Amino acid sequence: MRRFSYLTRAVWLLSLISLFTDLASEMLYPVMPLYLQSIGFSVFYIGLLEGVAEAVAGLSKGYFGQWSDRLGRRVPFVQWGYGLSALSKPLLAVLVTPVGVLLVRTLDRLGKGLRTGARDALLSDETTPANKGKVFGFHRSMDTLGAVLGPAAALMWLGSHPGEFRPLFLLAFGPGVLAVGVALLLHERRRAPSPRRVQPFWAVFAYWRVAPPAYRRVAGALLVFALFNSSDAFLLLLARQRGLSDTTVIGLYVFYNMVYVLSAWPAGYLADRWGPRRLLIAGLVLFAVVYGGASVAHTGGLFGLIFGLYGLYAAATEGISKAWLSNLSAPADTGAALGTFAGLGSLAALVASTLAGLLWQWRGPGLPFALAAGAALSVAVYLGTMRLAARPA
């Protein structure tokens, strides 16, 4: 068991919390675009809604990540953040107007912003640079296991209750409450507060100015890619537009998450052995293949291959990018570093999803998907050729 000694009590608890939260969230995520279309939302408004919600999460991630560093505390941010997200689930069954849906999605994303920087910093604090890929990979695997169970539960419900989306929002409240209960078991470990002053909410990304050059180069490249990486909702909408049924679309999403959950932890091992740069480059190439293929796919079998490759892309990038960036920043600034990156990424998602919705309505799905594939390949080439300095003390 010593080979798994990096899986501390805090890592297990954080992973279980993420599992329950994702079970609740992902019970609804693949259903949301289908549900919103059923009540009259356009593709552009769905993209705008997702983008605005992510932007709110983005602004709060950087801000609360700074507060976590400044106070030298992580756990309260994690507990309150998961609590807000749990509360938002049943409200989606009640508030069904465009403004109501926007407010509830914003509450959910505010909870995500409150917890993300502190949670990722807590994971980073629990391990060493040599094991960060494995720890973040394990966390992503557990997180994504919830993303398998959630859509599977939605699939079972819709199989016996076709078109009845709203009861799912009430059912999702249960695992959200479980996540909050596990979060209350977390204990704070003493750590030195960061000497940096917390910036105002509108200046949450001040860390960027003082960040190490290597951090800015890697984060900057990934953020350029994020400007073209729109919400996964567009992949789901594309599959539905090409004639696949609601249950088939959700089934594809379950398959994507199954591939992700089986690949994330092994990807963490490979990142620790080969370096995160190689894994990220491979993931970006896979993304280009997925989005290029999706623009011409018309059959369920081809979409199955696409969603499987998409799961491999996610495993090779999401947790790995956090592990890499945490190694490029000073330990006392980990919350600000990861919160700032996540925050800027969420603002980029606002641009990406809004742009994808506009281009879709103007020229169809081919153009936004082709642009995303081209951006992924360009960033992969850049990451493969740049030189980086060592981590700051």
**pLDDT of 141 above 70:** yes
In a domain, 182, yes or no: yes
Percent of the chain predicted with pLDDT > 70: 90
On whether the CB atoms of residues 109 and 68 are closer than 8 A, the answer is no
Mean pLDDT along residues 347-361: 84
Q: What is the pLDDT of residue 284?
A: 94
Closest CA to 102 of 54, 151, 169, 166: 54
In a domain, 136, yes or no: yes
Q: What is the pLDDT of residue 167?
A: 81
In a domain, 63, yes or no: yes
In a domain, 47, yes or no: yes
**pLDDT of 5 above 90:** no
User: Residue 98 belongs to a domain with what CATH number?
Assistant: 1.20.1250.20
Return the top range by mean pLDDT from 38-42, 65-69, 113-117.
Answer: 113-117
On whether the CB atoms of residues 58 and 114 are closer than 8 A, the answer is no
* The overall pTM is greater than 0.75: no
Confidence class of residue 353 from pLDDT cuts 50, 70 and 90? confident
- pLDDT tens-digit map of 72-106: 778 888 889 899 888 888 887 777 677 777 788 88
- pLDDT tens-digit map of 160-201: 777 677 788 788 888 889 999 998 998 877 666 666 665 555
- pLDDT tens-digit map of 219-254: 899 999 999 988 787 888 888 888 788 778 888 888
In a domain, 200, yes or no: no
Within 10 angstroms of residue 383's Cβ, the number of other Cβ atoms is 20
Q: What is the pLDDT of residue 225?
A: 93
- Side-chain-side CA neighbours of 82 within 13 Å: the count stands at 31
Tell me phi and psi for residue 206, to 5 degrees: -60, -25
- pLDDT tens-digit map of 16-30: 998 998 888 878 777
DSSP 156-222: HHHHHSTT--HHHHHHTHHHHHHHHHHHTT--PPP-PPPSSPPPPGGGTTTHHHHS-HHHHHHHHHH
Distance CA 258, CA 279 (A): 19
Closest CA to 377 of 229, 216, 232, 214: 229
**pLDDT of 68 above 80:** no
Closest CA to 124 of 392, 332, 280, 393: 332
In a domain, 92, yes or no: yes
Q: What is the pLDDT of residue 392?
A: 47
Closest CA to 22 of 152, 110, 122: 152
pLDDT, greater one: 46 or 76: 76
Confidence class of residue 373 from pLDDT cuts 50, 70 and 90? very high
Distance CA 334, CA 125 (A): 9
Q: What is the pLDDT of residue 336?
A: 72
Q: What is the pLDDT of residue 20?
A: 92
On whether the CB atoms of residues 84 and 366 are closer than 8 A, the answer is no
On whether the CB atoms of residues 15 and 138 are closer than 8 A, the answer is yes
**Identity of residue 347:** L
On whether the CB atoms of residues 34 and 159 are closer than 8 A, the answer is no
Domain count, the chain: 1
Within 10 angstroms of residue 214's Cβ, the number of other Cβ atoms is 20
Distance CA 211, CA 330 (A): 9
Q: What is the pLDDT of residue 299?
A: 83
The CB-based long-range contact list for 266-269 (8 Å cut-off, 24+ gap) reads: 266/137, 266/315, 267/133, 267/137, 267/315, 267/316, 267/319, 267/320, 268/133, 268/134, 268/135, 268/136, 268/137, 268/138, 268/140, 268/319, 268/320, 268/323, 269/133, 269/134, 269/137
Closest CA to 107 of 85, 77, 76, 79: 85
**In which domain, by residue range, is 142 found?**
2-188+212-385
In a domain, 197, yes or no: no
Distance CA 317, CA 264 (A): 9
- pLDDT tens-digit map of 258-315: 888 788 778 877 888 888 888 899 999 999 999 988 888 888 888 999 999 999 998 8
Mean pLDDT along residues 325-332: 79
In a domain, 291, yes or no: yes
Confidence class of residue 380 from pLDDT cuts 50, 70 and 90? very high
